[in-house]
C-alpha cells in the first residue's frame, strides 16, 4: 500500500500537509505518463517538477482553491514528501 503525504511551505511562512489519496496518485500518473513509483525512484533521477505537481494536485484535491500550476508555484517556498510504511 502506498501511503504518501506532502508538506507544502509557502513563501509567506504558512505550511500545510496534505494526504496523497488514490485520486491524486492517478491524476499525477496520467499527467506524468509514468507510475508514481517510477517518477520518484532515486535511480531515475526524479524531476523536482514531479514533486511540486504532486503537491499541487494533493492541495487541489483536498478542496483548497488553487490557481493554475504556473501561478501556484510562484507562492511556494518548499515541498516535502513522506511515505508512511504502515509499521
Query: Tell me: the pLDDT tens digits for 5-59?
Result: 999 999 999 999 999 999 999 999 999 999 998 988 889 888 999 999 999 999 9
**How many domains, the chain?**
1
20 and 51 Cβ atoms separated by less than 8 Å = no
Report the distance separating Cα 34 and Cα 7, nearest Å.
Answer: 22
Confidence of residue 86 (pLDDT cuts 50, 70, 90): low
pTM, entire model: 0.89
- Maximum pairwise Cα distance, the chain: 38
For residue 85, is pLDDT > 60? Answer: no
10 and 77 Cβ atoms separated by less than 8 Å = yes
Domain range for 46 is 4-83
Query: Residue holding cell 505518463?
Result: 33
Amino acid at each position: 500500500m502506498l501511503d504518501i503525504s506532502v508538506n507544502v511551505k509557502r513563501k509567506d511562512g504558512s505550511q500545510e500537509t496534505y494526504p496523497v489519496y488514490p485520486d491524486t496518485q492517478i491524476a499525477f500518473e496520467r499527467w506524468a505518463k509514468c507510475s508514481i513509483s517510477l517518477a520518484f525512484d532515486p535511480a531515475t533521477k526524479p524531476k523536482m517538477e514531479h514533486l511540486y505537481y504532486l503537491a499541487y494536485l494533493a492541495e487541489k484535491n483536498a478542496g483548497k482553491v488553487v490557481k493554475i500550476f504556473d501561478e501556484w508555484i510562484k507562492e511556494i517556498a518548499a515541498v516535502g514528501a513522506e511515505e508512511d510504511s504502515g509499521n
